[in-house]
């Protein structure tokens, strides 16, 4: 098999899980005949039919509510948000029904809500969001945000098989830019386990999604200057892989968290608290962070560039941290 894009890897995961388990169904706006806004579901309708690939009205609340009901009846629905920003419309269904059903009355909700997220494509404030932290704060959910084609396929398969509701964020900037060769044999990637993308000794960068690639590029710049950075891709935000994070900090003693989500209330703050509680004695400097600005995502390309983390910003923050 040749190299595939992240988008193609997601489509492969859907086809394989539809083949494997007849309980898997898909719901969303334009996912059937049109094949999805980004073509992630292209071909599903033709192969599996309208009873399993369901074009819905433009009502995210109705889509997620219907998916909750389907899950109660033994199906495993995969919901597509045309853009993840619109998950705000069904916040109540996600946080008060899907997330709490198992706790309240023992009813598992094996549902996946997936959709294109993130900026860098000049989509403006209503098509570029990273709303993951609203849901990281919600017990009962799992929150996944991959950065590679391999992980996107393996994690989506794990999410579909999970008996808990999983929010699966797909960074649209990476959809067609990231390519790699995938195994011919079936595989999954475990939810809740981070990946060490680059070994290092001088400091640790923790990141995920598109910002993980920015961090790796910054690490290459810093390596030419004699600073060896360890880069960890979180992959899953809830549950957070504390063990991998702390083991890296024990080795490097310095931590920089990089994410595209806005600064206030981002995962960097939670990680900083975890490290202060569980690894304070290993820190030789403050937990630093490079994030997006605390504004809506700008539409104008120069403003969006200013808004987002960049290789230059990450490298500059790492240089300052390395001085401690």
Give the catalytic positions in this structure: 127
- Judge whether 216 and 197 are in contact, CB under 8 Å: yes
Distance CA 240, CA 27 (A): 28
- Judge whether 267 and 257 are in contact, CB under 8 Å: yes
> What count of residues does the chain have?
324
- Phi, psi values for residue 108, rounded to 5°: -60, 150
Task: With residue 70 as reference, give the H or E element that holds it.
Answer: helix 60-72
Find, among 310, 294, 83, 262, the residue nearest to 302 by Cα.
310
Core vs surface per residue 190-202: b (16+ CB within 10 A) or e = ebbebbebbebeb
Cα torsion at 164, 212, 198, 176 (round to 10°)? 90
Q: How many H helices and E strands in the chain?
A: 12, 14
DSSP 8-class letter at 313 = H
- Judge whether 175 and 116 are in contact, CB under 8 Å: yes
Which residues are bridge partners to 256 per DSSP?
Answer: 205, 288
């Amino acid at each position: 098999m040749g190299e595939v894009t992240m988008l193609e890897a997601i489509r492969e995961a859907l086809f394989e899980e539809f083949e494997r388990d007849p309980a898997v169904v898909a719901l969303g706006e334009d996912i059937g005949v049109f094949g999805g806004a980004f073509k992630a579901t292209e071909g599903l309708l033709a192969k599996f039919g309208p009873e399993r690939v369901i074009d819905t009205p433009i009502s995210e609340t109705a889509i997620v509510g219907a998916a909750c009901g389907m899950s109660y009846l033994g199906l495993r629905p995969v919901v597509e948000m045309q853009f993840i920003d619109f998950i705000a419309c069904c916040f109540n269904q996600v946080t008060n029904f899907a997330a709490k059903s198992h706790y309240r009355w023992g009813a598992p909700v094996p549902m996946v809500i997936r959709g294109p997220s993130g900026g860098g494509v000049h989509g403006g404030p209503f098509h570029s969001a990273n709303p993951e932290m609203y849901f990281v704060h919600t017990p009962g959910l799992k929150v996944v945000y991959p950065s590679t084609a391999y992980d996107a396929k393996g994690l989506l398969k794990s999410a579909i098989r999970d008996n808990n509701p999983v929010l699966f964020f797909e960074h649209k900037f990476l959809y067609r830019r990231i390519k790699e060769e995938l195994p011919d044999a079936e595989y999954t990637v475990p939810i809740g386990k981070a990946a060490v993308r680059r070994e290092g000794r001088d400091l640790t960068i923790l990141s995920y999604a598109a910002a993980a690639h920015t961090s790796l590029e910054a690490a290459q710049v810093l390596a030419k200057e004699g600073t060896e950075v360890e880069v960890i891709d979180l992959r899953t935000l809830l549950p957070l892989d504390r063990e991998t994070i702390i083991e890296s900090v024990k080795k490097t003693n310095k931590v920089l968290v990089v994410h595209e989500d806005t600064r206030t209330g981002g995962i960097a703050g939670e990680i900083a608290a975890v490290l202060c509680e569980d690894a304070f004695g290993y820190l030789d400097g403050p937990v630093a962070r490079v994030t997006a600005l605390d504004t809506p995502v700008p539409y104008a390309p120069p403003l969006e560039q200013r808004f987002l983390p960049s290789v230059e910003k990450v490298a500059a923050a790492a240089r300052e941290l390395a001085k401690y």
